[in-house]
């Protein structure tokens, strides 16, 4: 199964980068760098929500809507009027998976990417439905219909190791302080609060070199 970062090297990924770049006025390089960090963070956050039976069932219910069809024509999406509805949907997804830590994540990604935190938030809103679309497509292709299966799909999306510099984001976004709050650790590592070079900060540093 392809990982979430493989998406950025596909035709879909190129359309995503170009579309987001056009909507935010950021260069394709900066946009690509941010998405390389943001997509695994979003996927990991969704995975954390799938660890309880209730959370996994909620994700499965959401995937009835996010069936992967959003991936079919991203060029049209970013040039049309449906983007507002997609972004509104993305805002709801972020509210569920990040909760009150959303601003911390935006600030962390902003500092590392050099993109304004407000624009990072806009990009996350556009990206979240696409991540859900990738998951929905995988669910249908693999005929997954159980909470355990959903968690496994998400683990596969995060844990792909086909790119040397992007190896095992799953390991890099582990809950370092054991409080069950992966998002706090993401923010801390990106902002330099935690110095473990094998953690997210070290990997993101290599990504941005």
Q: Tokens 């935190």 map to which residue?
A: 117
Does any domain span residue 124?
A: yes
Q: Considering the domain boundaries, does residue 208 fall inside one?
A: no
166 assigned to some structural domain: no
Q: What are the residues whose beta carbons fall under 8 Å from the beta carbon of 129, sequence distance 6 or more?
A: 66, 70, 86, 89, 90, 93
Q: Is the pLDDT of residue 29 over 90?
A: yes
Asked if residue 199 is part of any domain, the answer here is: no
Structurally, the chain folds into a number of domains equal to 1
CA 22 and chain centroid, separation = 19
Whether 21 has a pLDDT exceeding 70, the answer reads yes
Q: Which of 95, 115, 96, 98 is nearest to 107 (CA)?
A: 115
Average pLDDT over residues 170-188: 42
pLDDT at 145: 86
- Is 82 inside any structural domain? yes
119 located within any domain: yes
Q: What range does the domain containing 135 cover?
A: 4-159
- What is the arithmetic mean of pLDDT over 27-56? 89
Q: What would the two tokens of residue 8 be?
A: 């950025």
CB atoms within 10 A of CB 71: 19
Residue 185 lies in a domain: no
Q: Which residues, in sequence order, are CB contacts of 207 under 8 Å at separation 6+?
A: 33, 36, 37, 165, 166
Q: What is the pLDDT of residue 196?
A: 40
Evaluate whether residue 58 is within a structural domain: yes
Rounded to 5°, the CA angle 20-24-28 comes to: 55
């Amino acid at each position: 199964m392809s990982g979430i970062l493989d998406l950025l090297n596909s035709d879909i990924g190129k359309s995503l980068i170009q579309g987001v770049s056009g909507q935010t006025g950021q260069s394709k390089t900066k946009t690509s760098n941010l998405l390389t960090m943001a997509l695994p963070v979003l996927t990991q956050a969704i995975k954390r929500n799938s660890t309880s039976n209730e959370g996994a069932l909620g994700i499965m219910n959401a995937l009835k809507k996010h069936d992967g069809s959003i991936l079919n024509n991203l060029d049209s999406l970013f040039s049309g009027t449906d983007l507002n509805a997609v972004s509104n949907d993305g805002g709801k997804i972020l509210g569920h998976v990040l909760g009150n830590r959303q601003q911390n994540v935006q600030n962390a990604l902003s500092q590392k990417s050099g993109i304004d935190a407000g624009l990072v938030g806009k990009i996350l809103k556009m990206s979240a439905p696409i991540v859900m679309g990738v998951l929905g497509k995988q669910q249908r292709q693999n005929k997954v219909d159980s909470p355990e299966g959903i968690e496994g799909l998400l683990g596969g999306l995060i844990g792909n190791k086909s790119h040397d510099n992007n190896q095992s984001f799953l390991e890099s976004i582990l809950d370092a302080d054991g409080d069950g709050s992966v998002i706090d650790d993401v923010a801390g590592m990106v902002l330099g609060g935690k110095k473990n070079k094998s953690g997210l900060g070290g990997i993101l540093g290599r990504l941005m070199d």
